[in-house]
Structure formats: structure tokens, C-alpha cells
Amino acid sequence: MPKPILLAIDDDTSVLEAVVQDLRRHYGQDYRIVRAASGAAALDICRQLKERKDTVALFLSDQRMPGMTGVDFLQQAMCIYPNAKRVLLTAYADTEAAIRAINSAKIHYYLNKPWDPPEEKLYPVLDDLLGSWKEGYKPPFEGIRVVGVRWSALDHAVRDFLSRNRIPYQWLNPETNPDALALLKEKGIDDAKLPVILFGDGTALVQPTSTEMANKVGLRTQAQQEFYDVVVVGAGPAGLAAGVYGASEGLRTLVIEAAAPGGQAGSSSKIENYLGFPEGLSGEELAKRAFLQANRLGAEFLTQKVSCIRSENQYRILTMADGQEVTCHVCLLATGVDYCKLDVPGADKLSGAGVYYGAALTEAMSCKEEAVYIVGGANSAGQAAMHFSRYADHVHMLVRGKSLENSMSKYLIDQIEATPNITVETGTEVIAMGGESHLECLTLKTPRGEEARQASSLFIFIGAAPKTDWMPEELCRDSKGFILAGPDLKAQSPKSWKLERDPYLLETSVPGIFVAGDVRFNSVKRCASAVGEGSIAIQFVHQYLATL
């Protein structure tokens, strides 16, 4: 971002040089010092700076200049930069005129020449003026801006991708911010094609895909090598742990994630029962720490979606959505699970437009002073309720069961009970949703009968299901899609294992393909458990590699 400007004006070149040197010595680190030899030249400079959208913090002008006095210049400059501080340099003979100009030209201060020493007579005055100017100054935002409407599934997907990848951005909603449309008009972009991402370099992406966003913000979408010892699919807690241990133990390790590091746990507002963090930590912070740790140890990360895995002899070949392929000795599946969809009228139509699966923390600020509804009674729902209670006027937890005791940790139950703007409604479920462009109402089945409620935000946490349909047919799964491994594989599908040796603890029906975390059959659905499985999976990877 360009530095704010201090503009010095004097027709006497020796005096002007002295002013500039004094300003540069004391303020050069934080401000750009610009000079002009007359009032007319200074006005031209002001107009040019305004066109370039530069900021002037202070004018320091001599009074006695031919053609235009300092007071005349400051009066005109005030129209161009009304918030800039205005200081007049005067001789003792001009003191009375300077005092009168404080009212007429709204001059903030006048200084008598000479001002030596500046440490006593110049800098204290300018320090006070610039300190006051900074208090009201809001520097222009020059980072990524997302122009999109709140009730749009595409807009939500864009903001969610940027947020979960920790990419700072400013969201501009044209419905509440008219300047957003002006920005699009400047670039010749049709405002009917929202969302649009505007970048500081002047480029834009219109209705971008996750791959387009990843490429633009600097995430890696092309593998650096063609072959790896182990490729981890999924960067949730299990995948991140595998990345840390694989890389630290000298394996060429690639971690592939379609969305963002952290997985479902990454969207948790606060995890309070994770070992070693007595005050708790957010899922985002946990994911960030693990990502940085794995990266530092040498694991490579790729933002891509895996569409196919096939085996050729002792090699596993992964095909990405864009067609590129990566080969490895071992593939570890740590894809986690997704929240189950709520199968009621209106749910599909309003998904992403007031109806969200998971925490959707990007929507928290939008819910300020509104009523928020959360469906579910497990820890993820409780963490979300606590988070949204900081923004929403009221949070309603809709729980189908009779209580939270059988599905939620005690510490969360206690926190919810102690939070006055959270109401737990047991024996209650959503049976319909309504709204045109976005969610407007809910129909609930309660112990008292059916009820209609006005609602604009609904967050759903109703169990989880694995997304394993794309995986090879020879990979054995249970009826729900969870991957069988180790003893469970031998017990559930003994004929699917073809080797003489028993499968390793986390090895699937395809030798060389392992599984860890929530996607594994019979896994414990806890963050710490997933981390443990991802860690010990590398032990079995070493054992498998030793047999090749």
C-alpha cells in the first residue's frame, strides 16, 4: 500500500529543501515526502494524486509566494483533500494574517520561520496533527474483495473456500453496499454474474471454481513430482497427522485436499477436549498449526480433487479432476465424512441460501441480531451454538432426542445451559422449509404439534456419511460406505483379502491402500482419534514398503 503523503510548498528553493530534509528525517519511514515550488504547481500535484487515489495527510505551505499565497492554496487544497491537516509557514510579520486565516482557511496550525531546532519547534506540532489525522484515517483496502449477495450458494462457496484457506478478503454485498456495483462497472463486469472476486492487481474471477481460486491465490494445484512414497487423500486431522509423520520419517509425502486443510474439524469454532490445550482451540487454529508443521517437515500439499485410484502391480495411480496423474507406492485414504442431508421439502432448493450443512462460520457476522436455528445434538452442533450465540440475537437448538446427555460432551452441555440466548428444544425436528430466493420460514414438529417459525439461517448437523462412491470397486465398504480395514475386513469380508499374510491394522482390501480417520468403518468419531490413526498409519506404511 502506498504511504500517505506530506506535501511541502515554498517558492524559496533553499527553504523548501530544508523543509523536505527535516520532514524526511523524522517522517520518511511512514510517509512519502513530496515538494512543490508554487501554489499552482502544488494544486496540479494534488489533482494528480487524487486521480491516482493517493492520500495526502498534511500540507505544509509557505504564506508569501508569488501568484498564490499559502492561505489561498490551502483553501483550494481543502476542496481536494478535506481531511488533510493544513499548516502555514509564516514570517513574524505575517503572524496576524495567519491567525485570521485559521478561521477563513480552517488552517490547523501556523509555524514561524525559522523553526530550528525542529525537534522542539516543528516535530511536536506535526506529531500531534498527524496523530489526530491517523485516528480518522481508514486506509483503502487493497486486498481481495468478493462481490456477491448473501443468499447465494455460489457466493457462500467462494467465501467458505477463502476463509478455510485463511485467505483474507473483504466481502461487498451489492444489496447493502452500492459501491460494489460501481467497482464492477469500472471493470466492465456484468453484475448478473455474481459472485466476482476482485484482486489487488486489477484482475478478476467471475463465478470461479475452487481450482481457479486456488491457482490465483497461490495454492499449489500441480504436483511437483510424478512419484511419491505415500499419497494422503484428505487433509483433515488424520491426513494432516499422516503428513507430519510421513514427512518427518523421510517418506516422500503428498497430501491432496480439494477444499482446505482441517476437514470437518477445521470448521469447529472451538475444540475444548483436545489434549494439551487447556483453554481449547479452534479447528481452524489446529489445522493451521498442523499444516505448517507438515509443510516445514517436507510434506507437499496439493489443492485438487481425486477422481480415481487404480492399481498397477505394486503402484497406486491417482487421477485428479483435471486429468493429471500421480503415482505412489502407498495411498492413505483420510477423506473423512460429510454431514447428512436433511430430506424435507425445500431443503435442496435453499441449500447455500440460508440452509447450511456444518458450521459455515463465514455466515456468523451476517447473522448479527437475527435468530439462528441449529439442527443436531452432537458436539459439532453444540460448538456451533456457542459460536453463533456471540453474534445472533438468539440460537435455537432443535434436537430430535429427549436430551443432550447421550450425544454431547458434558462440558458443552454446561456451557449451553449457562448461555442465556441459547434455547434447546428437545423432541423437535424440521419437517419443511419455505422461501423464494432464500430461507424465510421453517415448519417444525414439536411435542406441542406442528409450528411455523420465521427463520433466515439454519445450520444442520445430523450425522455424517462417507463420500466413497468414486473409490475403486475392489475397495470393500460396509452398506453405508465406510471403508473396511484390518480385523474388520477379515471379519466382514474375509474373501476379499487375497494375500497369505493378514492385512495390517489400517490396510484395506487393496494391499497398499490404507485408511484412517472418520471414513474408516468402526472408527471413533473424535478429532484426537483421527490424529492418532493418521499417525500410526505411517508405521504400517513402513511395514508395507519393507515387503516390496
Does 374 share its domain with 315?
no
pLDDT confidence band for 264 (50 / 70 / 90): confident
Measured between its terminal Cα atoms, the distance across the chain in Å is: 55
- pTM given for the model: 0.77
Residues 380/268, Cβ–Cβ less than 8 Å: yes
Q: Which residues contact 297 (CB under 8 A, 6 or more apart)?
A: 244, 247, 248
Does 540 share its domain with 436?
no
pLDDT higher than 60, residue 268: yes
Interatomic CA distance for residues 298 and 288, integer angstroms: 16
Does 190 share its domain with 243?
no
The predicted-structure confidence for 226-258, as pLDDT tens digits, reads as follows: 999 999 999 999 999 999 999 999 999 999 999
Q: Which amino acid is at 545?
A: L
Residues 133/149, Cβ–Cβ less than 8 Å: no
Which one, of 462, 460, 443, 458, lies nearest residue 392 by Cα? Answer: 458
311 assigned to some structural domain: yes
Question: Which residues are registered as beta bridge partners of 459?
Answer: 356, 374
What does the pLDDT read at residue 135? Answer: 86
- DSSP per-residue string spanning 156-201: HHHHHHHHHTT--EEEE-TTT-THHHHHHHHTT--TTS--EEE-TT
Q: How many C-beta neighbours within 10 Å does residue 207 have? A: 16
342 assigned to some structural domain: no
326 assigned to some structural domain: yes
What does the pLDDT read at residue 200? Answer: 83
Residues 384/177, Cβ–Cβ less than 8 Å: no
Q: Which residues contact 518 (CB under 8 A, 6 or more apart)?
A: 236, 238, 264, 336, 337, 464, 466, 525, 530
Residue at a domain's end among 196, 217, 238:
217
Q: Which residues contact 261 (CB under 8 A, 6 or more apart)?
A: 164, 165, 235, 240, 287, 288, 290, 291, 301
520 assigned to some structural domain: yes
Interatomic CA distance for residues 39 and 236, integer angstroms: 63
| Cell 492413505 sits on residue | 332
pLDDT higher than 60, residue 93: no
Which one, of 269, 350, 335, 267, lies nearest residue 305 by Cα? Answer: 335
What does the pLDDT read at residue 282? Answer: 85
What does the pLDDT read at residue 515? Answer: 98
161 assigned to some structural domain: yes
What does the pLDDT read at residue 311? Answer: 95
Burial call 208-228: b when 16+ CB within 10 Å, e when fewer: bebbebbbbbebebebeeeeb
What does the pLDDT read at residue 188? Answer: 87
Mean pLDDT of the region 126-145: 86
Number of domains in the chain: 4
Residues 56/46, Cβ–Cβ less than 8 Å: yes
Residue 452 or residue 135, greater confidence: 452
Interatomic CA distance for residues 57 and 79, integer angstroms: 14
| Cell 471414513 sits on residue | 519
Mean pLDDT of the region 1-9: 89
What does the pLDDT read at residue 98? Answer: 66
CATH number of residue 394's parent domain: 3.50.50.60
Q: What is the DSSP letter of 265?
A: G
Q: Beta-strand (E) ranges in 291-413?
A: 300-303, 306-312, 315-320, 325-333, 338-339, 355-357, 371-375, 394-399
What does the pLDDT read at residue 344? Answer: 94
Does 317 share its domain with 176?
no
Burial call 438-455: b when 16+ CB within 10 Å, e when fewer: bbeebbbbeeeeeeeeeb
pLDDT higher than 90, residue 458: yes
Residue at a domain's end among 217, 247, 282:
217
Interatomic CA distance for residues 539 and 259, integer angstroms: 27
Out of 4-13, 309-318, 350-359, least confident range: 350-359
pLDDT confidence band for 94 (50 / 70 / 90): low
Out of 90-104, 186-200, 244-258, 442-456, least confident range: 90-104
What does the pLDDT read at residue 369? Answer: 85
Mean pLDDT of the region 51-72: 90
Q: Which domain holds residue 434?
A: 347-463
How are beta strands 227-233 and 56-62 bridged, if at all? unpaired
170 assigned to some structural domain: yes
CA distances from 417 to 268, 291, 462 (A): 19, 35, 21
Cell numbers of 465, please? 456419511
Residues 63/97, Cβ–Cβ less than 8 Å: yes
Residue at a domain's end among 110, 136, 162:
136
| Cell 489525522 sits on residue | 133
Out of 91-95, 217-221, 365-369, 489-493, least confident range: 91-95
The predicted-structure confidence for 161-170, as pLDDT tens digits, reads as follows: 998 898 989 9
CB-based burial of residue 97 (10 Å sphere; 0-12 exposed, 13-18 middle, 19+ buried)?
Answer: middle
pLDDT confidence band for 97 (50 / 70 / 90): low
What does the pLDDT read at residue 434? Answer: 95
pLDDT confidence band for 347 (50 / 70 / 90): very high
Does 122 share its domain with 13?
yes
Cell numbers of 90, please? 509564516
The predicted-structure confidence for 428-447, as pLDDT tens digits, reads as follows: 999 999 999 899 999 999 99
Question: Which residues are registered as beta bridge partners of 452?
Answer: 443
Q: Which residues contact 473 (CB under 8 A, 6 or more apart)?
A: none
Out of 55-69, 357-371, 428-442, least confident range: 357-371
Cell numbers of 369, please? 441480531
pLDDT confidence band for 114 (50 / 70 / 90): confident
41 assigned to some structural domain: yes
Interatomic CA distance for residues 63 and 97, integer angstroms: 9
Task: Name the H helices within 52-195.
Answer: 70-80, 95-104, 118-121, 123-136, 153-164, 179-186
pLDDT higher than 90, residue 349: yes
What does the pLDDT read at residue 328? Answer: 97
CATH number of residue 97's parent domain: 3.40.50.2300
Q: What percent of the chain is modeled with pLDDT above 70?
A: 97
413 assigned to some structural domain: yes
What does the pLDDT read at residue 1? Answer: 64
Does 45 share its domain with 157?
no
Q: How many C-beta neighbours within 10 Å does residue 502 have? A: 12
Reply yes or no: is the peptide bond before residue 117 cis, omega within 30 of 0: yes
pLDDT confidence band for 359 (50 / 70 / 90): confident
Mean pLDDT of the region 395-407: 94
Does 459 share its domain with 477?
no
Does 101 share its domain with 162?
no
What does the pLDDT read at residue 366? Answer: 84
Does 388 share its domain with 244?
no
| Cell 437448538 sits on residue | 397
Mean pLDDT of the region 413-425: 96
What does the pLDDT read at residue 248? Answer: 97
What does the pLDDT read at residue 63? Answer: 86
What does the pLDDT read at residue 146? Answer: 94
Does 325 share its domain with 233?
yes
Interatomic CA distance for residues 37 and 218, integer angstroms: 45
Interatomic CA distance for residues 289 and 279, integer angstroms: 16
CATH number of residue 153's parent domain: 3.40.30.10
What does the pLDDT read at residue 95? Answer: 66
Element (H, E) at 434: strand 429-434
Does 27 share its domain with 167?
no
Helix, strand, coil tally for the chain in percent (to 5): 35, 25, 40
Does 540 share its domain with 488?
yes
pLDDT higher than 90, residue 24: yes
What does the pLDDT read at residue 362? Answer: 80
